[in-house]
Structure formats: structure tokens, C-alpha cells
Amino acid sequence: MTVLIINADADYYCQQLARACPGADLRAAATPEAAWEHVEGAHAIMAFASALSPGLIARAHGLEWLQALSSGVDGMLDLCAGRPDIAITSTRGVQGPAVAEMAFVHMLALARDVPRLAANQRRAVWERYPQPLLHGKTVVIVGTGAIAGELAGRCRAFGMSVHGVSAVPRPIPGFDRVHDRRDLAQAAALADFMVLLVPLSDETRHLVDARILAAMKPDAILVNLARGGVCDEAAVLRALREGRLGGAGMDVFETEPLPADHPLWTADRVFVTPHLGGESDRYADQVLPILRANLAAFLQGRPQDLRNLVR
């Protein structure tokens, strides 16, 4: 079985996986361009969706399994819409610490207006102004999966009240209350901070739209760490311009990379990061346990044991 790994760290992944699964024919491609040399004979591919293309998938005639190196797989599902025979798995759960910390980057940057402080530093301006606390505030986390649980624990450590929003509401440790997704507007009205952590699907596309934004407090802060399509960016910009939203932290976008002329780059009270939520300096080692387990299951003909199987 030939397994193609497309990633800047592909050589490292191959070295580590070869120790656990010595029978695997592992091929490394540091770039998507380098993958074309190996893809025709590949039975499995490990990559981020951004490294794949319709042409690459079409050329992989014997492809049986796609292992996403991310928790989200919407891009891979789109690429493989015409190939229902291809199993798709994710690395869901391992990005929890990284995404939770990025949520705090956005919440603190906007609450304390860090861009203003940075601009003052560059101009040598000594300006003091009140610094709002996270302590005592309410955070509404839209999504209650593993990553949301990581964030909830950190929010509680900051002294915040933590509410979750789920399509299947039930009591969940770490959350003060979990709301039904159908009641998102009511939950949004409680939020000082609302953090989006749901997968993109037909049900969640533009989940946060003009109606939900209108329900939020005018000084509330929205943080999108889910997928760009979960949030109506045009509605967010309107709410900011009209003073109906206190700030927006955006790590994911409907079009990526975010075009240079997109108004989110220059809008007031917007903090932009280039889809860094799941990135960390230890990412490869964090995902390797899932890759090892899934590679072993695949090589041994145990598809029922693939972890984080999406389809």
C-alpha cells in the first residue's frame, strides 16, 4: 500500500510513521507540485485540503483513504463529492489547546485594543485608557466539541461565565449552560464574547447572520475560529460600521487567502489572523498518534477502526 504525505514536514511524518508501520510504502512530497510524481499509485493521502486539487484527486485512481491533517474536512468532502468510495478521516481534537489559546489572542486583543497599543508604541505615544477585563464576562461558545471544551476550561480559569450552543443540547461539564442551536439569538443576547467553533455544513453556513448580530450587545465581541462560511462577513462589516457590534476577531474567511482589497483588512475594531487557529510549534507530534493508529488500521484492513471517520 502506497501512502503519500503532502506537507512541508512530510519527511518527518514519514520517518515517524515508518517506525510504527514498517510495511508501509511511504512517499513524501513537501509541496503540492511534488505530489504529482507519486499520486497516481497512491492508495492513501495525508494532507491539508489546501494541498489538494480536483486534478490531483482525479489522477489518484486507486485512492481509498484521505487523512486530513486538520479537524475540518469540508474542503476534502467537496473535492471527493464524486468519489463516495474514498474514506475520509480528520485529526479532530488535537487542535484544542492551539485553538483555545488563539481565541484568547482575539478576545484580549479586541477587549484591550492591542492594535491601538501597538500603533502607539510605533509612534512613541504614551496613552493610557481603561482596560476591560475578561473576568466576570459571559462567553458564548457556538459548538460544544473537544476544542470548545478546551476553551471552556480556560475561560472558567479567567473567571468567565461559560455558555455553549449545540444542535444536541445537554448538560456538559465545564459549561454553565448549553443552549439549543435553534435558540442562538437568545444565547447571543447574553454574550460579551461569542466564539464560533462549529464545522461548516449546510446547517451552519451563515449561521451567524444579520439576525443573530442584531441580537448581540452593541459592545459584544465576535470571534470566528470555525470556518469562514459560518459567519456572514458582509453582515459583520455592516454591524461594525453601524456601531451594533463591539469588535470582530476573524481567523477564517469565506475566501482564503483573504484578498488584499477585502474591507476586513482595514475595518475598525477588526482583528485579522491568517487561519492560524490550529497551528502550533508541536503540531506534527500532536497529530502523529492519530496518524499512526489510522495507518495501522488501514494497512491491516480494519476500516471500522479508523479514528475520526467522517465518511
Catalytic center residues: 227, 256, 275
Q: In angstroms, rounded to a whole number, what is the distance separating the alpha carbons of residues 273 and 60?
A: 34
Report long-range pairs for 36-39 (Cβ below 8 Å, ≥24 apart): 38/2, 38/4, 39/4
Single-letter amino acid code for the residue at 197: L
Residues 141/103, Cβ–Cβ less than 8 Å: no
Of the candidates 187, 150, 151, the residue with the CA atom closest to the CA atom of residue 167: 187
Residues 66/35, Cβ–Cβ less than 8 Å: no
Q: In angstroms, rounded to a whole number, what is the distance separating the alpha carbons of residues 256 and 250?
A: 12
Helix (H) or strand (E) holding 153: helix 146-157
Q: In angstroms, rounded to a whole number, what is the distance separating the alpha carbons of residues 171 and 173?
A: 7
Q: How far apart are the first and last CA of the chain?
A: 21
Q: In angstroms, rounded to a whole number, what is the distance separating the alpha carbons of residues 308 and 76?
A: 14
Q: Would strands 193-196 and 25-29 be described as parallel, antiparallel, or unpaired?
A: unpaired
Residues 102/277, Cβ–Cβ less than 8 Å: yes
35, β-bridge pairs: none
Q: In angstroms, rounded to a whole number, what is the distance separating the alpha carbons of residues 228 and 68?
A: 18
Q: In angstroms, rounded to a whole number, what is the distance separating the alpha carbons of residues 285 and 40?
A: 28
How many Cα atoms sit within 13 Å of 309 on the Cβ side? 16
